[in-house]
Amino acid sequence: MFKVLVSDPISDLGIQQLVEANDIEVDKKTGLSEDELVAIIGDYDALLVRSQTTVTARIMQAATKLKVVGRAGVGVDNIDLEAATQSGIIVINAPDGNTITTCEHTFAMMMALARHIPQAYAKTIGGTWDRKSFLGVELRNKTLGVLGMGRIGSEVAKRAKAFGMDILGYDPFLTQERAEKMGVKLASVDDILQHADFMTVHTPLTPETKHMISTPQFAIMKKGMRIVNCARGGVVDELALVEAIEAGIVAGAAFDVFESEPPQADHPFLHNPHIIVTPHLGASTVEAQENVAIDVSEQVLHILRDEPFKNAVNMPPVAASVMNKLQPYFGLGEKLGSFAAQISAQAIQEIRIDYAGELSEVDTQPLTRYILKGILSRHLGSEANIVNSLHLAKVRDLNVIVTSAPSTRGFTNLITVTLTAQDGSTQQVAGTLLSGYGERIVRINDYSVDVLPAGHQILVSHTDKPGIIGNVGSLLGQKNVNIASMQVGRKIEGGEAIMILTVDKDVPKDVLVGLVELPNLNTAKVVVLV
């Protein structure tokens, strides 16, 4: 008999399959402190939580029988994943349970925005019959721009087509073939800004997406745009949006999320008649709460019964002999993937990973998962993890090619990551572990380098001319950006070259603009590796 502890309020219908199982005993004990959980967790084989319970390393250490922690929801920030992995405890979540609910809330917000429903309701119940002030617009024959064509964005696009809308879809991993299958026109962010009548955001919040819609984007935006955000606060710059509304660029906005929740009483969204707000209700339906509980309960059953399962978010079991060889390369692999993704300007359509040396003698799939996580996390944030990265690549029609060979061109082991964009351009990064020195990037495209993959870096491409290094150093000094180290790679004297600078802090955008304006300097990109 397996014992399952439910420590947060979870739908009874959602855990019904556990309650009715002949080999499962379910206890519901909510509101427990860490000490109380530590005292009893040793009796249980599974733990089900939502967001209230924080599953700490101390709880894991006391959980001598625990096989699985199930999170009835998407995020797992309240679970110590590293401690769970070290203890051999599987952590699962329910990433699909709120897809339709969030999609439908997006459409509710879009309709309310188009027809001024909250404003008209407030005025009507206030005793004023005013039909003239609330002239709306139809969705039919309008263009909808969808930023992020993942699970939720794709469902929104499907429903928008039923409303007679034309769809422009942006996603860094959206291929032309997949866009055509969905009846969506593949577009850039700028295409959407310049041509869409409505825009809806469905991206995670990452360093890449934070304020991806801000003052520069509003400057080129089609006048009369209406913006919906039921994804994450911070993707749209809130203050810049208010300014764009006041300037007549944006006709209105509907937001379910804020950069800081709950918002302060003086938040400008709360007092602007052109902005509709709701208190993060995207997943708040009876069906969604039940679905996430049903999904996670089903997977808990599979795990306890040693049956195939899905939606794990920590490291799957790996043979100790393989783990010993691969583990030193996990951090390097993720950083190589992240570096390659950050220097790729185009949407990726193919990922090639080449292993050379002793790594070719073992099953490298666990390491491949880390590399893919590094690549995908640039745009998907915490949605991508070492368990689901292969699946996420597959559902986005990314072609993943993995090869291995004994030859390493002088290194004990060499990992090479090559990203191919839809226009055929490639970005390649290779790395290894050097005895006594640790992780190193040893090649960027056609240039040999020796770079520690850590911290804030600037990758510069330039023509190999006297004075380039001095000009770059002077500009960074003027902008109070301190250089910690520098590497230069070139093939021939006077030809094309690259420069990699490690700096002490984040690099403001105006610094990059200043760099590319220097003579003989072609491009400048920031790479952040943590």
Read off the pLDDT of residues 117-155 as tens digits, 9 standing for 90 and up.
999 999 999 999 999 999 999 999 999 999 999 889 999
- For 49-95, write each residue's pLDDT tens digit: 988 899 999 999 999 999 999 999 877 878 998 888 778 789 999 88
More confident residue, 286 or 321: 286
In this structure, is the dihedral angle defined by the CA atoms of residues 302, 306, 308 and 310, taken in order, positive or negative? positive
pLDDT-based confidence at residue 370 (cuts at 50, 70, 90) = very high
CB atoms within 10 A of CB 437: 10
**Predicted local distance difference test score (pLDDT) of residue 412:** 82
- The pLDDT tens digits of the residues spanning 371-405 come to 999 999 888 887 787 777 887 888 888 999 999 98
E-strand stretches of 236-287: 250-255, 275-277
| Domains delineated in the chain | 2-97+287-304 (3.40.50.720), 99-277 (3.40.50.720), 320-529 (3.30.1330.90)
Confidence check: pLDDT of 271 > 80: yes
Give the pLDDT confidence of 312-335 residue by residue, as tens digits.
888 665 666 777 888 899 999 999
| Separation CA 50–CA 375 (nearest Å) | 29
Question: What is the overall mean pLDDT for the chain?
Answer: 91
CB 445 within 8 A of CB 457: no
Q: Which residues are catalytic?
A: 232, 261, 280
Average pLDDT over residues 428-434: 93
Segment 218-235 shows an average pLDDT of: 96
Greatest distance between any 2 Cα atoms in the chain: 82
d(CA 366, CA 333): 10
- Helices 99-115 and 151-162 sit at what angle, rounded to 10 degrees? 50
Q: Tell me, what's the pLDDT at 317?
A: 59
Q: How many CB atoms lie within 10 A of CB 445?
A: 16
So what's the pLDDT on residue 434? 87
Whether the CA torsion 346, 352, 356, 362 is positive or negative: it is positive
CA distance 212 to 466: 36
What local confidence, expressed as pLDDT, does residue 318 receive? 66
What value does the mean pLDDT take over residues 518-526? 92
Mean pLDDT of 169-180: 89
Residue 157's pLDDT band (cuts 50, 70, 90): very high
Amino acid letter, 140: R
Please give the pLDDT value at position 176.
86
Q: Which residues of 290-310 are buried (b: 16+ CB within 10 A; e: fewer)?
A: bbbbbbbbbbbbebbeeeebe
pLDDT at 289: 85
Torsion, Cα 351 207 153 350, to 10 degrees, reads -10
Q: What is the pLDDT of residue 501?
A: 94
- Which range, of 154-168, 325-339, 382-396, 469-483, averages the lowest pLDDT? 382-396
> What confidence score (pLDDT) does residue 422 get?
83
pLDDT more than 70, % of the chain: 98
Mean pLDDT score, 280-302: 90
Strands (E), 264-333: 275-277
The least confident of 108-117, 225-234, 378-387 is 378-387
pLDDT for position 319: 66
